[in-house]
Amino acid sequence: MVLDLFPDESFRAGLLIGTLGAAVLLLAGTRLQRLRPASVAVLAALIVLARIDVLPGALVAALAVVAAGSLLLVDRDVPKAAWPAVWLEGAVLVAVAVGGGGPGWLDAFTIVLAFAAAGCVGSLGARPSPRGFEPILIVLTVLGVYGAVPETDPVRVVVGALLPAVALGLWRAPFWDRAGASTLAALVVWAAAAGGQTRPAAVIGSAVCFGVLLVDPLVVGALPGTARAVRERGRVTRLGALVVIHAGVVAFGSRVVGLRTSSLQAAVLGAAALLAALVAVAGIELTTRSRERRVR
């Protein structure tokens, strides 16, 4: 699938700018230690989108607002109700940036998806994980979106900008922080919604492609005893299982849900896929916690 992208000029531009950004980040060393590869990918994508004249001003505002919400989340002086309100504003701006060319319900769906993705993926950015785990998940998600949507111009740019960051993230940790993770998620949601206007089921399929990125934070949040076990024991087995589950959900969302002609059918299939992923991830987390208790 990736090889098919190379003839495309916008993909190559994203790949070039993303590679330059990753190289600068690598060479700068500790001087840019707070800048993560995921954030570099977002910046590279925005540069290329502006270059090919498909960058809505509302998208820039949306990503800035989402990043601000992530920063507010870690500020103890800010009321807890502040960051969801800011993220909701960012999600609305994502829908505005899409342009509203699809059915009326699609705007509301985009808002919900942008809010959920920014929150769930952002929580992964704030949680310690082994090197390479997050890059694998997000690149599978973006490739799934590419396979689902009929209009691929926006997502081709995102894929090109993301690949160098993923390569760097596989070698160097951490791949993202909370702000970088949430803004990258919002950017992917925009690319999915903008590319799926003519086939709304593709946007539903793209939502399914977030897979483990959506359900794992929900499960870990509901089962707080798993976080330490995740970091300390069963790492390879657990993470390998999560990647396999994610790959399966992405494939189903991209090539089954996303290609439906009926939005209702796509919604039913997509909900079933995410529910199955939720059950599978919960099973893995409970097993991990049970093993941790026996070891103690």
pLDDT of residue 130: 66
| Sequence ranges of the domains in the chain | 3-295
User: Residue range 80-96: average pLDDT?
Assistant: 86
User: Residue range 77-104: average pLDDT?
Assistant: 84
Residue tagged 């531009």 (tokens): 13
For residue 275, count other CB atoms closer than 10 A to its CB.
Answer: 11
Query: What is the token pair recorded at 234?
Result: 């069963």
270 pLDDT more than 60: yes
**3-class SS string, 221-262:** HHCCCHHHHHHHCCHHHHHHHHHHHHHHHHHHHHHHHCCCCC
147 pLDDT more than 50: yes
pTM: 0.91
5 pLDDT more than 70: yes
234 pLDDT more than 60: no
Mean pLDDT of the residues in the chain: 87
125 pLDDT more than 80: no
Rounded Cα distance between 171 and 165, Å, is 10
User: Residue range 126-154: average pLDDT?
Assistant: 87
pLDDT tens digits for 10-23?
999 999 999 999 99
